[in-house]
Amino acid sequence: MPASLCVVSDSAPTAAPVRHSVNEVDCRVKAHEWVNGQYRLLTLSAPCSVLDCQPGQFFHLLCPQTDRFHPYLRRPMSIYSCNREKGELTFLYKVAGEGTGALAGLETGDVLNIVGPLGQGFEIRPEWRRPLLIARGVGLATLAPLAQECARLRLPLTAICSARAPDLLMSTNLFRSFGAEVITVTDTEGNSDTESLTPLIEGLIRSRGIDAFFTCGSARLMRMLQEIGARHGIGGQVALEQHMACGIGMCQACVRPFRREDGAVNLRVCREGPVFDLQEVL
């Protein structure tokens, strides 16, 4: 094996795992539609065994083989919604490359094999009473179920949704339906950069009493929130992405470095994450 190039030691399994909480199941496609020019909403009929999930958790999808696309590894996808009564699971995804390209070809009635639910979801700490969600791109999909959870907990919620262009803003009505105050920013309007967002967020801290940040979808936004959070003593969480192979914690493919009491440590995004403490991300 090649010599190690990185100074950070890797994580290994910690607590003894719970038995048989992860399932591999075949699901039928109930609906599959375009949300805009880039994103598709996939609705699956799913058995109860996989519907006990938390906002922020994800599934590992076995994208089909098609004439054009031959994905081999599974693709991680956040839960967009999960409904036990209806036996439904949805994913909102961007058609990007080989795997999502193949996924986009699925039609109603087709079968998709999924593994999950996987990873650690968001935790809304009891002291967090006035959350702010900041989502960009695919991050909107990951934060949607968290908005629903905030509504369930009757927490007043503000959400900043960011996208390249107005037509790529998704889920704003969904966020509003959960009672959130929604602020949209886009690159084309020129108000999505950190120079514009920082005063906007600091204004919200003053006017709304924001006491927690939740974010997903942009490293730039995450860094900005780490700074604002450090300045104002506001904590929060971030959902991260990393290339994966197994998705369940066996292979150590998906590590990223984090700050812990005893120094930097590599943690597995699929296992210790994908949701992490905002300030721990290096």
Partner 1 sequence: MADLTTRIGALVLKNPIMPASGTFSEELAEVFDLDCLGAHVTKTITQGKRAGNPVPRVCEVNGAMLNSIGIPSKGAEWFLQNTVPFYADYDAPLVISISANSADEFARFAEEVSVPGVAAIEVNISCPNVEDHGKAFAMRPGPTGDVIRKMRSATDLPLWAKLSPNTGEVVEVAQAAEAAGADALVTANTMLAMAIDSATGRARLGNVMGGLSGPALKPITLRMTYQCARAVSIPVIGCGGISTVDDVLEYLIAGARAVQVGTATFISPTTMPRLIGELEQELEERGLTSVDALIGSVDIADEAITLAEYA
Ligand X SMILES: Cc1cc2nc3c(=O)[nH]c(=O)nc-3n(C[C@H](O)[C@H](O)[C@H](O)COP(=O)(O)OP(=O)(O)OC[C@H]3O[C@@H](n4cnc5c(N)ncnc54)[C@H](O)[C@@H]3O)c2cc1C
Ligand Y SMILES: Cc1cc2nc3c(=O)[nH]c(=O)nc-3n(C[C@H](O)[C@H](O)[C@H](O)COP(=O)(O)O)c2cc1C
159 belongs to the binding site for partner 1 (CB under 8 A): no
- Is 249 annotated as contributing to ligand binding? no
Residue 19 binding partner 1, by CB under 8 A: yes
Q: Which residues pair with 94 in a beta bridge?
A: 39
For residue 44, CA distances in Å to 100, 150, 278 come to 16, 24, 32
Q: Which of 35, 73, 245, 264 binds ligand FES (CB under 6 A)?
A: 245
Contact set for ligand X, span 113-172 (CB under 6 A): 138, 141-142
Please provide the DSSP assignment of 155-177 as one string: ---EEEEEESSGGG--SHHHHHH
What is the C-alpha to C-alpha distance for residues 181 and 176, in angstroms, rounded to an integer? 6
Amino acid identity for residue 31 in this structure? A
Binding residue for ligand X (CB under 6 A) from 98, 181, 187, 277?
98
Strands 158-163 and 9-10: unpaired
Here the tokens at position 161 are 């949704």
Q: Please, are residues 116 and 61 in contact by the beta-carbon 8 Å criterion?
A: no
Binding pattern to ligand Y, positions 211-250, x when CB under 6 A? ----------------------------------x-----
- Annotated binding-site residues for FAD read 75-78, 99-100
User: For binding to ligand X (CB under 6 A), which residues are involved?
Assistant: 58, 71, 73, 75-78, 91-94, 96-101, 138, 141-142, 241-243, 274
- Binding positions for ligand FES, rule: CB under 6 A: 244-247, 249-254, 268, 270-271
